[in-house]
């Protein structure tokens, strides 16, 4: 008797043939084990302070402990943190954004060689959201790049070994620069009340600080750099604590002390809010094998940048293919409005996307419930034929989120961002005004 063929657990029907390492699509659900995290994972200067503030769950990011939840599920969980963010003001421990400094006589030329945008157009005491690509055009990192001086830049790194890449590249290029991680740890202050709160701490100059503007100042006698930046879509700031291993406690308690009158709440990074704003998360929505043209970051690939940069030839070839009507990738990132029960926690799997006839064709990267819209939203990859706005799809949600046990929920391709941000990020502004250009 012939045995029934067992379907492959990694769902090979989803075409990832243009990847060397396919995204793991095994639908294995939560991980019911206790994770051992030892001294190989670094504790940031704010880690014990996060525990004191109620952090009960964490992950690892940039080889550091990263707080993921403060409010317990029985007290409202992540959606209670969301309420504090969109209605008041929140404080985030984001020390995992390691600061990689490039400093020296040729710092500008080196940075301009490794980022796709034109670093020469970033004035001192300003910043910009940038990407770095490899020779194939894959996104290596998408940091905020801060320019502290003519000869000094900080990469506020996302979750990858950016320092090793920069050092390795310069072995061959030989620019006269020093590349090092420095003892600077950032905190984020995010929410509609953040500007008034920060003005109480740092004075009226906060009101004049432009988006991506920087300011050298002090808090509780400790040197800090303040920027108007954030990962939320709400008004927000980052406080980069210099000599953080010495000053973390003083700055943290100064922020929390003044924040009491604003109802400030210590929360995790707001992935629910950044999804609504269309802000991408490296390692989740994109990675080293993802092109910026697949994830709506075409504006990060300038047509007229004078200096050469790593990945330029590959990216220009990709753009030429797209403009000729030959999309060179199997899948593209889109926004999805989905049915199902409210998704109010992190997804443990890349949930599968199917066509109305049930053919599995893609996967969800970042899903969450939107209280304002009243339905689930998500970012996900689908073939180019399914990327048109209004395309009807299905998403295979796990038990607990599906409307009918074992049945996928309806989904539709929609505009990103999903709803206007109170303070549109540079990403949103660039998409709206210059969708295929950047400087």
Which residues neighbour 260 within 8 Å (Cβ) at sequence distance 6 or greater? none
Residues belonging to the binding site for substrate are 238
Residues belonging to the binding site are 238
3-state secondary structure the chain: CCCCCCCCCCCCCCCCCCCCCCCCCCCCCCCCCCCCCCCCCECCCCHHHHHHCCCCEEEEECCEEEEEECCCHHHCHHHHHHHHHHHCCEEEECCCCCEEEEECCCHHHHHHHHCCCCHHHCCCCEEEECCEECCCCCEEECCEEEEEECCEEEEECCCCCHHHHHHHHHHHHCCCCEEEECCEEEEEEECCCHHHHHHHHHCHHHHHCCCCEEEEEEECCEEEEEECCCCCCCCEEEEEEECHHHHHHHHHHHHHHHHHHHCCEECCCCHHHHHHHCCCCECCCECCCCCHHHCCCHHHCCCCCCCCCCCHHHHHHHHHHHHCCCCCCCCEEEEEEECCCCCCCCCCCCCEEECCCCCEEEEEEEEEEECCCCEEEEEEEECHHHCCCCCEEEECCCCCCCCCCCCCEEEEEECCCCCCCCCCCHHHHHHHHCCCCCC
């Amino acid at each position: 008797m012939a045995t029934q063929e067992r379907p492959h657990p990694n769902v090979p029907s989803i075409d990832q043939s243009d990847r060397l390492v396919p995204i793991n699509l095994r639908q294995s659900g939560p991980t019911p084990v206790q994770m051992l995290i030892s001294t190989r994972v670094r504790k940031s200067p704010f880690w014990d302070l996060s525990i004191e503030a109620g952090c009960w769950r964490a992950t690892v990011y940039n080889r550091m402990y990263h707080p993921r939840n403060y409010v317990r599920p029985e007290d409202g969980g992540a959606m209670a943190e969301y309420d504090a963010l969109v209605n008041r003001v929140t404080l985030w421990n984001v020390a995992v954004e390691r600061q990689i400094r490039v400093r020296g006589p040729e710092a500008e030329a080196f940075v301009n060689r490794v980022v796709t945008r034109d670093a020469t157009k970033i004035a001192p005491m300003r910043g910009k959201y940038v990407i770095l690509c490899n020779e194939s055009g894959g996104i290596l990192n998408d940091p905020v790049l801060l320019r502290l001086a003519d000869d000094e830049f900080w990469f506020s790194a996302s979750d990858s070994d950016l320092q090793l890449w920069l050092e390795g590249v310069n072995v061959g290029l030989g620019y006269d620069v020093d590349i090092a991680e420095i003892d600077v740890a950032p905190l984020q202050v995010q929410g509609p009340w953040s500007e008034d709160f920060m003005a109480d701490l740092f004075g009226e100059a906060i009101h004049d600080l432009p988006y991506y503007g920087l300011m050298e100042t002090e808090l509780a006698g400790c040197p800090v750099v303040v920027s108007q930046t954030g990962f939320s879509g709400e008004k927000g700031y980052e406080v980069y604590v210099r000599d953080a291993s010495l000053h973390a406690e003083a700055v943290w308690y100064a922020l929390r002390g003044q924040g009491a009158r604003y109802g400030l709440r210590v929360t995790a990074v707001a992935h629910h809010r950044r999804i609504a704003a269309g802000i991408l998360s490296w390692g989740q929505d994109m990675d080293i094998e993802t092109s910026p043209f697949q994830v709506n970051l075409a504006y990060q690939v300038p047509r007229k940048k004078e200096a050469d940069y790593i990945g330029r030839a590959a990216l220009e070839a990709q753009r030429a293919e797209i403009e000729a009507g030959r999309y060179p990738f199997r899948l593209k990132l889109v926004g999805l409005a989905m049915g199902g029960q409210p998704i109010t926690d992190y997804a443990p799997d890349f949930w599968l996307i199917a066509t109305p006839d049930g053919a599995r064709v893609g996967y969800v990267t970042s899903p969450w419930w939107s209280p304002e819209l009243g339905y689930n939203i998500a970012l996900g990859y689908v073939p180019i034929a399914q990327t048109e706005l209004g395309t009807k799809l299905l998403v295979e949600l796990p038990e607990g989120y599906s409307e009918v046990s074992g049945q996928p929920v309806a989904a539709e391709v929609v505009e990103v961002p999903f709803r206007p941000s109170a303070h549109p990020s540079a990403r949103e502004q660039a998409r709206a005004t210059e969708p295929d250009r950047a400087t």
